[in-house]
A and B are shown apart, each in its own frame.
Chain A
Amino acid sequence: MIRLPSSLPVKEGKVSSMTLIYVVLIVAAVFYVLPIYTAVNTSLKDSKELMWGPVSVVHKPTLLNYVKAFGIIKRPMWNSVVITIFATIFSSFLGAVSGFGFSKLRFKGSDTIFLMIVLGFYIAPQSILIPLVRFIGKMGLYNTYGGLILTHTAYGMPITTLLFKNFFETLPTEIIESAQIDGCSNIMAFFRIALPLSLPGFAVVAIFQFTNIWNEYLFGLILTRGVNSQPLTVAIANLKGTTVASWNLQMAGVLLSVLPVLVMYVLFLKLIVKGLLMGSVKG
């Protein structure tokens, strides 16, 4: 087949189509950044300057809104730190344990049990809310850190088990088997060999869980009341202003609340991408 030389016109076309591509990418970027810009800009304005609206660039930036917002949300922020750290550790560790079981200690029917566990990730939480409130109340855990830590650990199991099982599948079974021949029990093999080897996986799961739990709202809303144990998301939702003037305070609170996860995204984007891709069903 003879192909016609087509270098010149194509090249010219390429330049203009590349420009078009950049224009589209920048328009998309503006869409994603505009609300963030608006929030940052608003949060830096005092109420006088806010009269000029949220879009015009701030003249005299003030951190006063942040100071005020922090004063209101510092207790809920601490609550969220404690709840998120413990629930992340528990759900990741238990996910590693069970993921190891489902991957390396298979038995007849274990795949079906695994499937039933993973299915738990995909059901609408509205179908468990009423018993959850009753159960946590009966256990005396309403309005406590323990109640939310237990809840987040339990509902984290499907996804952490799935993620860890996938990690352990990539680990050759021979490593575990040879350890068993050397007289290692499965428990020793897990702690001495599998767990250390799964550390990169552990990071992915922990970051995935941290962001999910930090950002969760519904469980916090129904399982806590008042500032002493309510998570940050609930406190931020309660900041809701009715007058224009309080929008700057609200945006400052919002930005403070997203900061930890935002920093994680910038620092660990690769791990986060991995977690997001592995956490989704495959067609």
Chain B
Amino acid sequence: MKRKRESFLFISPAVILVALFVYGFITWTFNVSLTNWKDIGIYGRFIGFRNYERLIFQDATFHTALINTLKLSVMFIGITVPLGLFLAVLLDLDIKGKRLFRLLFLLPLSFSFVASASMWTWMFSPEGGAINTILKSVGLGWLTQPWITSESQSIMCIAIAYIWQFSGFATLVYYAGITAVPPEIREAARIDGANTFQLYWKVIVPLQKPATLTVLAMLLMYTLRAFDLVWLMTGGGPGTSSEVLSTFMFRTTFNRNHFGYGAAIGIFMFLLSLAIIFPFFKKLRGGRYD
């Protein structure tokens, strides 16, 4: 009994803070989502699940935001995962300057999203931006694009900024996974006559399934909550061409002051994040990492 009381003493700060700021607030958000609360000061009235009905069945912008979130995830993750794996394999080879390359690949991770949003807005600026300038100066002027100012390219530009910022993370996780492959396995493959390419393609890469799951979960989580880069690079535009769930939630709640409706979007996103993390629930149980 005494032991239990003492352990409560230790865990109580974390328990209290998380109980209030996470679970209490989610419950609070859910309650708000059942009202038509608009504008500060005037409390809304209970309207049941009407916000959710409107969201799912009627709101075209929500559908756009959902599809754009999916598009962004597919572009970002579809390139980041193979790129990370590929670079990790290269770093595992016997090359010179390994540490320098590793540092360079990881450097973008140190930048805030705000910083990289500014830098990539500048890179993609149609007038005077670096990418169009380079294209012109190497005689590829006909390849210049409107980039973030174009409805059809805005998401792609954001995805590239994400890839720049996060592929180092994927590389890192894969690199850790690859270097953790026991030397005996490599040796055995060598004795069986595998060349370097076969060693990686047939033996080491297939062993990276757990690393892939880790990378997928983390990247999915980050794209779902992606706000800073989208908000600052395109503001969801032009039009709603790059509106994602998080910017839609923010705009609805804090620019239009539709708190009830914004809360419903927030709860929808909460459920999505549960769906993403659920497959890992069991693995998390021991709280172990290996």
Q: Give the interface of A toward B (CB within 8 A).
A: 1, 3, 10, 18, 21-22, 24-25, 28-29, 31-36, 38-39, 42, 50, 53-55, 94-95, 97-98, 100-102, 105-107, 110-111, 113-120, 122-132, 134-135, 151, 153-155, 157-158, 161-162, 165-166, 169, 185-187, 190, 211, 214-218, 222, 233-234, 236-237, 239-240, 244, 247, 250-251, 254, 257-258, 261-262, 264-266, 269, 272-273, 276-278, 280-283
A46 → chain B closest CB, angstroms: 15
Checking A123, A169, A247 against B122 with a beta-carbon cut-off of 8 angstroms, the contacting residue is: A247
> 6 nearest interchain CB pairs?
A283-B213, A101-B10, A105-B7, A215-B112, A127-B270, A98-B14
Cβ–Cβ contact B110 & A166, under 8 A = no
B253 CB–A CB distance under 8 Å: yes
Cβ–Cβ contact A254 & B119, under 8 A = yes
Cβ–Cβ contact B6 & A186, under 8 A = yes
Cβ–Cβ contact B266 & A32, under 8 A = no
Interface centre among A132, A214, A276 (most CB of B within 10 A): A276
Mind listing 22 A-B residue pairs with CB under 8 Å? A25-B90, A28-B105, A55-B130, A106-B7, A114-B287, A115-B284, A116-B18, A123-B270, A124-B246, A124-B266, A124-B272, A131-B32, A157-B18, A211-B110, A215-B114, A237-B117, A254-B115, A257-B115, A258-B110, A273-B172, A281-B214, A281-B280
Cβ–Cβ contact A118 & B284, under 8 A = yes
The number of residues on chain B lying at the interface, defined by a beta carbon within 8 Å of a beta carbon of chain A, is 112
Interface residues in B140-191 (C-beta closer than 8 Å to A): 164, 168-169, 172-173, 176
Cβ–Cβ contact B221 & A120, under 8 A = no
Checking A134, A161, A281 against B217 with a beta-carbon cut-off of 8 angstroms, the contacting residue is: A281
CA distance A214 to B113 in the complex (A): 11
B286 CB–A CB distance under 8 Å: yes
A22 → chain B closest CB, angstroms: 7
B215 → chain A closest CB, angstroms: 8
Cβ–Cβ contact A38 & B7, under 8 A = no
Cβ–Cβ contact A122 & B273, under 8 A = yes
Checking B9, B18, B265, B277 against A154 with a beta-carbon cut-off of 8 angstroms, the contacting residue is: B18
- Other 5 A-B pairs with CB < 8 A, given A122-B277, A126-B270: A132-B21, A211-B110, A240-B118, A264-B110, A278-B289
Checking A239, A261, A277 against B289 with a beta-carbon cut-off of 8 angstroms, the contacting residue is: A277
B81 CB–A CB distance under 8 Å: no
Checking A55, A117, A129, A240 against B253 with a beta-carbon cut-off of 8 angstroms, the contacting residue is: A129
Residues of chain B within 8 A (CB-CB) of A257 are 112, 114-115
